[in-house]
Amino acid sequence: MLAVTTGRGALVRLLAAGAAALALVGGAPAGAGAPPAAAAPAASCTGGTVAVVAHPDDDLFFLNPVLSSELAAGTCTTIVYATSGDAGRDSSYPRSREAGVRAAWSTATRSAGTWTTGTTTLAGTAVATASLSDRPLTMVYLRLPDGGLDAQGSSRYGWSSIPALLQGGRTTISTTGTPSAIYTADSLVATVAAVIRAQAPSAVRTQDFSHAGDVDHPDHHAVAKVAVLARDAAASQAPVVGYYGYPVNDLPANVTGAALAAKQDALYAYAPYDDQMCGSTSACSGKYEAGWLARQHVSGTSLPSAAPTPTASSDAARTATATASSQNAGTGQTAAKAVDGVVDGYPGDHTAEWATQRGGAGSTLTLTWASPVVLSSVVLFDRPNADDRVTSGTLAFSDGTTVAVGALDDAGAATPVTFSARSTTSLTFRVGSVSATTANAGLAELQAWTPAGTGIPTTTPTTTPTPAPAVDLARSATATASSQSSATGQTAAKAVDGVLGGYPGDHTAEWASAGGGAGATLSLAWSAPVTLGRVVLHDRPNTDDRITGAVLTFSDGSRVAVPALADDGSATTVAFAPRATTSLRLTTTSVSATTRNAGLSELLAYAS
């Protein structure tokens, strides 16, 4: 058996040259349309992304659609599945799940190619592998035991789990089948590090390493920790980007339209191989899975330990004057928001980002300084929604030099760009290309670092966690309305279901009154007092129905005025002094002249 030691393409070449081959057909589903242009096969690709997940299907729920977008662009991708996802069952179940993720990614990439499965050796340990003949996609199966929701594992596999291994409860852990292997915590990290070292990716994507102890699966947190340790062990400069798992349902839905349909198709191609999985939109409706499909949010970004930890004063962008080729001043999405120190944007706080007005390729953001500054790196954060994505760009300096910028992370995570230090009085980021779904190119944030600080500020040596998501208290309320369109499914309850949508999209995701205008009300009631300090309102996204004024009323009789809501259904945030209440009523005071059925796509209520 060959061992991976050196060479950027070593891992993927071994899959073709050293693996025991078994060809599996991976055709696209009927009606999928013409496949994208074939990318380089996995047998020769390097760079790109290494994804490290706990179970076969975590990639489909929590790291998608970013993985699909990257594969569509020809990005070299390796997915490492740390556990077999056995659920304490015999080996036939986890092997079926592995076949399921192969079917899912054949569907997601519209592949007509075949899968070659086999084994290879990484850091002295034999592992199972699979590669797709006509796409740059490789899979590595470590086949360790599923720890379960209690992190204890199962009797079938000796009550062992990755969380127990990392926490010292066990010194070794064995695989659930062939190839047979015994791992220590160090050898587990070394095995994943061998994948990263061989491929030399520009990014490592994994699960949530920032919020251990929440309601997420313990395997998710443990495997994400392994990914960070493995990146460091491989001496890689790639950022590790973590994504929320089960708690993502507490965040706004942000995967819609074609991206949602493609994500659903991939899961439904997997489902026949997993008897515990819902296999259609109707079967998943009302389940956690439906919420996971409609969401993808970054939970944190970890920089390599070798990267300097800058101070806040080293971000020169904070002292610059920002201007843009266009900006959406009406919604507060101005050029200045790209350098305000806040990394956020729609479907979160849209007022924290810069958005052009229908801008795409050729859009510019320019920073100017009153006196020269020395810069050695820039960190770019794309708008975090799933539609608007910058796929290439250029940085230009006052001395005439330029630096190329690749595709930005579609989920809004950091994209660092480093270069030789240079003195400049201006910096212009020009968008070179955008995704087909882009309506308004922009940035959540741009950071420009002096040589004393060349990355993202962190509060720990390696990790910048994203705060745990605020709890949307509206989700626990009972919603009623002055009127609702029950026949079309546009009921009051749809305003607090956690799904942003509405006509001309999914009309069943919104509340619409039955001919209501000024005076229409939506009321939320809680069985016990809650403290509220912020309400986020999303108008119905059609161009006719628009609330132009409203009032919030609380159970103590206090009132807060609401301005005109954004007509495109984006967020309108209303902040106020926190107060305890058992009810919240939105009363519409004025509407546009074209309004026929006032309503809301969504109402979110937070403590602060």
Domains by residue range for the chain, with CATH: 3-302 (3.40.50.10320), 312-458 (2.60.120.260), 473-606 (2.60.120.260)
Instruction: Provide the CA 456 distance to its chain's centre, in angstroms.
Output: 19
When pLDDT is averaged across residues 301-307 and rounded to a whole number, the result is 64
Burial 304-313 (b: 16+ CB within 10 A, else e): beebebbeee
Q: Tell me: pLDDT of 59 over 80.
A: yes
**Average per-residue pLDDT in the chain?**
84
Contact present, 426 and 312 (Cβ < 8 Å)? no
Contact present, 411 and 298 (Cβ < 8 Å)? yes
Instruction: Provide the CA 297 distance to its chain's centre, in angstroms.
Output: 4
When pLDDT is averaged across residues 250-273 and rounded to a whole number, the result is 93
- Distance between CA atoms of 124 and 64, rounded to whole angstroms? 31
Band of residue 25 on the pLDDT scale cut at 50, 70, 90: very low
Owner of token pair 């004063």: 313
pLDDT given at position 315:
77
- Strands 402-405, 442-449: pairing kind: unpaired
Band of residue 174 on the pLDDT scale cut at 50, 70, 90: very high
- Residue with the larger pLDDT of the pair 300 and 35: 300
Helix (H) or strand (E) holding 267: helix 257-270
Q: Structure tokens of 447?
A: 């950071």
pLDDT given at position 159:
94
pLDDT 10s digits, 192-228: 999 999 998 888 999 999 887 778 999 999 999 999 9
136 prior amide bond cis, ω within 30: no
pLDDT given at position 608:
78
Band of residue 260 on the pLDDT scale cut at 50, 70, 90: very high
pLDDT given at position 16:
40
Contact present, 466 and 210 (Cβ < 8 Å)? yes
Q: Which of 339-343, 352-356, 403-407 has the lowest mean pLDDT?
A: 339-343
Q: Structure tokens of 446?
A: 């741009």
Q: Tell me: pLDDT of 13 over 90.
A: no
When pLDDT is averaged across residues 360-375 and rounded to a whole number, the result is 91
| High-pLDDT (> 70) share of the chain, % | 88
- Distance between CA atoms of 416 and 522, rounded to whole angstroms? 45
Q: Tell me: pLDDT of 62 over 80.
A: yes
Helix (H) or strand (E) holding 530: strand 521-539
- Residue with the larger pLDDT of the pair 289 and 449: 289
For 100-252, strand residue ranges (E) read: 114-122, 125-132, 137-144, 173-174, 182-183, 203-206, 240-243
Sequence letter at residue 439: A
When pLDDT is averaged across residues 17-29 and rounded to a whole number, the result is 33
pLDDT 10s digits, 405-455: 888 887 777 788 888 888 888 999 999 999 999 999 999 999 888 875 433
pLDDT given at position 469:
52
Concatenated DSSP letters of 217-260: -HHHHHHHHHHHHHHHHTT--PPEEEE--GGGGGS-----HHHH
When pLDDT is averaged across residues 558-587 and rounded to a whole number, the result is 87
pLDDT given at position 254:
85
Instruction: Provide the CA 578 distance to its chain's centre, in angstroms.
Output: 30
pLDDT given at position 267:
97
Q: Structure tokens of 526?
A: 């809680």
Sequence letter at residue 546: R
C-alpha closest to that of 293 among 307, 306, 281:
281
Q: Tell me: pLDDT of 393 over 50.
A: yes
Q: Tell me: pLDDT of 83 over 80.
A: yes
pLDDT given at position 351:
87
Band of residue 457 on the pLDDT scale cut at 50, 70, 90: very low
Contact present, 84 and 146 (Cβ < 8 Å)? yes
Query: 149: Cβ–Cβ under 8 A, 6 or more apart, which residues?
Result: 217, 218
pLDDT 10s digits, 522-559: 999 999 999 998 998 989 988 899 999 999 999 888 88
- Residue with the larger pLDDT of the pair 140 and 317: 140
Q: pTM of the entire structure?
A: 0.56
Q: Which of 21-35, 115-129, 492-506, 593-607 has the lowest mean pLDDT?
A: 21-35
pLDDT given at position 499:
78
pLDDT given at position 314:
65
